[in-house]
Amino acid sequence: MAQHKFADYHADKGDSGAAAVSSGSPVGVDGVDADADALSRIQIKPVNDEDDTSVIITFNQDVSWFIVVLTFVASISGFMFGYDTGYISSALVSMGTDLDNRLLTYGDKEIITAATSLGALLSSIVAGTCADIWGRKPCIMFSNLLFVVGAALQVSAHTFWQMAAGRLVMGFGVGIGSLISPLFIGEIAPKMIRGRLVVINSLCLTGGQLIAYGCGAGLDKVHNGWRILVGLSLIPTCVQFGCFCFLPDTPRYYVMKGQLDKAAKVLAKSYNNAPEELIQQKIIELNTLNRVIPGNSVGKRVINTIKEIHTVPSNFRALILGCAMQGIQQFCGWNSLMYFSGTIFETVGFKNSTAVSIVVAGTNFIFTLVAFFAIDRIGRRVILLIGLPGMCVSLVVCAIAFHYMGVRFEGGGNAVIEHGGFSAWGIVVILSIIMYAAFYALGIGTVPWQQSELFPQAVRGIGTSFSTATNWAGSMVIASTFLTMLQNITPTGTFALFAALSFVSFLFIYFCYPELSGLELEEVQMILKDGFNIKASQRLAKKRKQQMANQKDAIHDDKLQGYNKNKPSDELMEG
C-alpha cells in the first residue's frame, strides 16, 4: 500500500493543469481575504485526513445501528446535564423550609445553584487529559458514580450545606460528562453526519430540561416532591453505566493506546459489511495521525501539550474559538433563565411558574431539533449569525417590559412590582423569553459543543478541557450573581447587559468564526494556520458540499466506482 503523502494546497491554473504544493511545511493562505481572485484559485485538498476512508465507507455501506446506539448511550450524559439544569429551578421554588427549617435567601439559592457549576468547572479542567490516559468510556462511567453519590446526598439533605455538597459532587459528574460525551460522539461519527450526531447530545440536554420541568410541575404539590425529582436523576445514570459495561471505547482511543485489533473490531461493527481492506486503511490513517506528545511521564506530556496548544498558531486560534464559543453560550444569560425561571415567572404574576417554564424548555427542545437538521446543511456560522441577533432583540424587549412593569428586587428575597398581578407586560416577558429560547437553541446553544472538530488529536483532550472549563466558569459566575444582579442593577439592567453581550458576541462571530461544516479536520487546521480566514472557509465548505452532492448523485446513478477514481483523496488508495 502506498505511503500517505501530505499535499496541503492545490492551485488551479485554468485549463493548463494543476500544480501541487509538496509536503514540506504546510502552506498558508496569505492574502486570502484581501484578494478574491487568488481566493477563488485556492483549494485545500483532504489529503492524509482521518476521514478520507470514512467518506468511502459511509457512501458504500449503510451506517450501522451500532453507531446510533453508541451515540444515544453517550448522549445520556447530555440528558443528565439538562435534567440537572432543569430540576433545580423547580426544586428551589418548592423546597420551602425543608432545609434548616427556614426559607432560603437569594444568597442560599445562588450557592446551591453555583455549587454544581463549581464542581463541573474543576472536573472539566482535567477530564480531557483523563480521557486520553484512561479512556473515554471509563471516564463517563466514573461520572455516573459521581452522579449517584451527589443525588444521594441531595435526596437525604435536611441542611443547606449538605444540599450544597450534593450539588458540588453532582457537578463533578456533570463536568466530566459534558466534555466527554460530545468528544466520544465526534470520534465515532463519520464526517458528513458528525454535526448532527453531536447535536443529538444537545437534543438530549434540552430534552432533559423539558422532562425535569414536567416532573417538577407534576410533583409541585407533593410533600417532599423535590426529593423525588432529584432521585429520578438516578434512573438515566444507572442506565448509562449498565449499557457501557457492554459497549466499547472509541476506535481513536484504541489506536492511541496501540490496541489496533480492538479498533478494527469497533470499526467493523460501525459500518455494515465494510470490506476488511477498508477497515485496515482506516486503521492506518488513524495510526498515521496518532502523533504522541513527547515526555517520559504523564505530567511532562500534559505540560508539553499545554505548551503546544498555546504556541502552535492553528491550535491557539482553535483554543480562542472554542473558549469564546463556550463563554458566549453562558454570558448571554441562558442558564440564568434555566436556573431561576421559576423565580422570574412567579415575579411577573404567573402562579404556576413551573408550567410556564415547560413552555420555554419545550421551545428550546423544538428548535434544537431544527438545529439538528440545519447544522450540516446551512452551516455552523450561518445559524450563529441568525441566532445571536434574534437573542439580542428578544433580550431588549424583555428589558423594556421589565421597565414598564416596575419590577425591583429587595434584600431577603422579596420582589416589589409597581404594577402587580398578571398583566400585558408580563405576557411580553414570557413571549420574549420564548423567542429568546428559540434563537438560542438554533445557534449558540448547539454549535459550541462541536468543539472537538477544532482541535487536532494531539491536543484535543486539553483543548476541549479548556473550552468546557470556560463554559462552566461562566455558568458559575452567572449562577452565583444573577439574583444579585436583579437586585442591584434591576431586571431591566440585567437583561440589557445580556443583550449587549449578545451583540458583542455577534460581532465576534462575524469577524472571527470560520465556516467549518463539511470540512476535514486537517482542513480546519489549515484554515486556522495564519488567521481565521472566513472567506476561504466559506468557499471551501461550499466546495465540499458540492462534492458530497455529486457523490450522492453518483450512487443514485450507479456510478460510484467511476466517481471514486476521480475523488481528491484517490491517491491515498493506490498501492
**Can you give the pLDDT at residue 417?**
62
Name the one residue in this structure whose C-alpha cell is 470540512.
519
Other C-beta atoms lying within 10 Å of the C-beta of residue 535: 19
Q: Give CA–CA dist 219/95, Å, rounded.
A: 11
The amino acid at residue 387 is G
Q: Is the pLDDT of residue 15 over 80?
A: no
Q: What are the DSSP calls for 294-349, one per residue?
A: P-SSHHHHHHHHHHHHHHSHHHHHHHHHHHHHHHHHHHTTHHHHHHHHHHHHHHTT
Least confident of 56-60, 85-89, 116-120: 56-60
User: What's the whole-number average pLDDT of the chain?
Assistant: 79
**Can you give the pLDDT at residue 23?**
35
**Can you give the pLDDT at residue 564?**
43
Per residue in 144-191, pLDDT (tens digit) is: 999 999 999 999 999 999 999 999 999 999 999 988 998 898 888 776
Chain centroid, CA 440 distance in Å: 13
Q: What are the DSSP calls for 115-130, one per residue?
A: HHHHHHHHHHHHHHHH
The DSSP bridge partners found for residue 19 are: 11
**Can you give the pLDDT at residue 276?**
84
Which of residues 198 and 351 earns the better pLDDT score? 198
Domain assignment present for 476: yes
Q: What are the DSSP calls for 3-26, one per residue?
A: PP----EEEE-TTS-EEE--SSSP
Q: Give CA–CA dist 265/267, Å, rounded.
A: 5
All three cell numbers of 206, joined, read 434540552
Which of residues 569 and 349 earns the better pLDDT score? 349
Specify whether the CB–CB gap between 421 and 271 falls below 8 A. Answer: no
Q: What are the DSSP calls for 63-114, one per residue?
A: BPHHHHHHHHHHHHHHHHHHHHHHHHHHHHHH-TTTTTTSPPPHHHHHHHHH
Domain assignment present for 523: no
pLDDT tier at 26, thresholds 50, 70, 90: very low
Instruction: Write out the H or E segment, with its range, that includes residue 539.
Output: helix 534-556
Buried b (16+ CB within 10 A) or exposed e, 101-123: eeebebebbbbbbbbbbbbbbbb
Mean pLDDT over 306-310 rounds to 91
The amino acid at residue 235 is I
All three cell numbers of 210, joined, read 423539558
Tell me the CA end-to-end span of the chain in Å, nearest whole number.
4
Specify whether the CB–CB gap between 74 and 140 falls below 8 A. Answer: yes
The DSSP bridge partners found for residue 349 are: none
Q: Is the pLDDT of residue 571 over 70?
A: no
All three cell numbers of 260, joined, read 489496533
Domain assignment present for 143: yes
Name the one residue in this structure whose C-alpha cell is 450557592.
111
Q: Give CA–CA dist 85/471, Å, rounded.
A: 14
**Can you give the pLDDT at residue 52?**
52
pLDDT tier at 44, thresholds 50, 70, 90: very low
Domain assignment present for 317: yes
Query: Which range, 80-84, 277-281, 391-395, 431-435, is most confident?
Result: 391-395
Indicate the number of domains in the chain: 1
Closest CA to 233 of 113, 86, 445: 86
**Can you give the pLDDT at residue 570?**
35
Domain assignment present for 141: yes
Per residue in 103-158, pLDDT (tens digit) is: 888 788 888 988 988 999 899 888 988 988 899 999 999 999 999 999 999 999 99
Least confident of 28-42, 125-139, 385-399: 28-42
Domain assignment present for 359: yes
**Can you give the pLDDT at residue 189?**
79
**Can you give the pLDDT at residue 550?**
74
pLDDT tier at 565, thresholds 50, 70, 90: very low
The DSSP bridge partners found for residue 42 are: 11
Query: Which range, 59-63, 213-217, 324-328, 342-346, is most confident?
Result: 324-328
* CATH code for the domain of 484: 1.20.1250.20
All three cell numbers of 420, joined, read 402587580
Domain assignment present for 568: no
**Can you give the pLDDT at residue 244?**
96
**Can you give the pLDDT at residue 258?**
85
Domain assignment present for 327: yes
Per residue in 479-514, pLDDT (tens digit) is: 778 878 888 888 889 889 999 999 999 999 999 999
Residue 415 DSSP label: E
Residue 244 DSSP label: H
**Can you give the pLDDT at residue 284?**
82
pLDDT tier at 255, thresholds 50, 70, 90: confident
The alpha-helical segments, DSSP class H, found in 95-222 are 106-134, 136-155, 160-188, 191-218
Burial of 290 (0-12, 13-18, 19+ CB in 10 A): middle
Q: Is the pLDDT of residue 548 over 90?
A: no
pLDDT tier at 521, thresholds 50, 70, 90: low
**Can you give the pLDDT at residue 219?**
86
**Can you give the pLDDT at residue 356?**
72
**Can you give the pLDDT at residue 180?**
92
Residue 237's domain comprises: 65-253+293-512
Which of residues 560 and 320 earns the better pLDDT score? 320
**Can you give the pLDDT at residue 420?**
56
pTM of the model: 0.74
Q: In a 3-state reduction of DSSP, which class is residue 161?
A: helix
All three cell numbers of 366, joined, read 423544538
Give every CB contact of residue 37 below 8 A, 6+ residues apart in sequence.
none
Rounded to 5 degrees, what angle do the CA atoms 348, 351, 355 make? 100
**Can you give the pLDDT at residue 400?**
92
**Can you give the pLDDT at residue 412?**
52
Q: Is the pLDDT of residue 366 over 70?
A: yes
